[in-house]
Amino acid sequence: MPFKEETNKERHIEANRNGERATMALMEVLLEDQQQLTFDTMVKNTLEAFINVLKDRYSDMMYNLKITSTRITRNDGCDIVVGDYKQFKIIRQYPPDSIPDGMWAQMCDLWDSEAWRKKSRIAKSNRDEEVQMKVERRSRQELEEEMRKERHERLELEQQMKEFMKKFMQRPSSVVDHSDSQPLKLMVQAQMQGFLCSSHGIVPLMHGLC
């Protein structure tokens, strides 16, 4: 019997060890997956950020390339103004150092096509509309913020007046003469209901209390 108990105990210990080893192995796998996931996420986020930068900077980069090509063209003796970078039939022969000759010529031909000019007009129109929408949205936001601030100040003032009225009406009769308090009570009631929230209503009200 003691031998059997010892055997069961050893089996229990071994089972625990196997369980621990399995748990450790699972944790290692999960850790590796997590590290890979983190790395993949980092690469993905970096790539997305890079693409977004390219999108945002594409127009500026192309503009700089055109200006560079125009300057090279002018330095070669061509009668062209540096700012006139849309003379694509001329500048197509003078690629910037960073662009191969054949590719630059193709880019200039594309920019000089009617399809590209139409696309550019549409894109410019869309950008103008987007800018206008941003201006209008900002104006609405500013207006809403002013209205919110004004509403907050009005509510705060109303609350202060309510507290003042409440304290005033709770003062002892020996201090306040209530013989002619009906108009005052009506004004208090009106104030409590929000009918006297403007300065034009508060000033005569305060004058009547003082």
Of 49 and 109, the structure prediction assigns the larger pLDDT to: 109
Query: What is the C-alpha R_g of the chain?
Result: 40
> What's the pLDDT tens digit per position in 73-93?
888 888 888 778 788 888 888
Q: Is the pLDDT of residue 20 over 60?
A: no
Average model confidence (pLDDT) across the chain: 65
8-20 average pLDDT score? 56
95-129 as b/e: b if 16+ CB within 10 A: beeeeeeeebbebbeebeeeeeeeeeeeeeeeeee
Report pLDDT for 10.
Answer: 62
**What angle (nearest 5°) sits at the alpha carbon of residue 199, between those of residues 194 and 205?**
75
> What's the pLDDT tens digit per position in 158-182?
666 566 555 555 555 444 444 444 4
47-60 average pLDDT score? 66
Global confidence as pTM: 0.38
pLDDT above 70 covers a percentage of the chain that reads 40
Q: Is the pLDDT of residue 151 over 70?
A: yes
Report pLDDT for 166.
Answer: 59
Q: Is the pLDDT of residue 61 over 70?
A: yes
Q: How many CB atoms lie within 10 A of CB 54?
A: 10
Report pLDDT for 200.
Answer: 39
CA distance 194 to 162: 10
Q: Is the pLDDT of residue 94 over 70?
A: yes
CA distance 96 to 110: 17
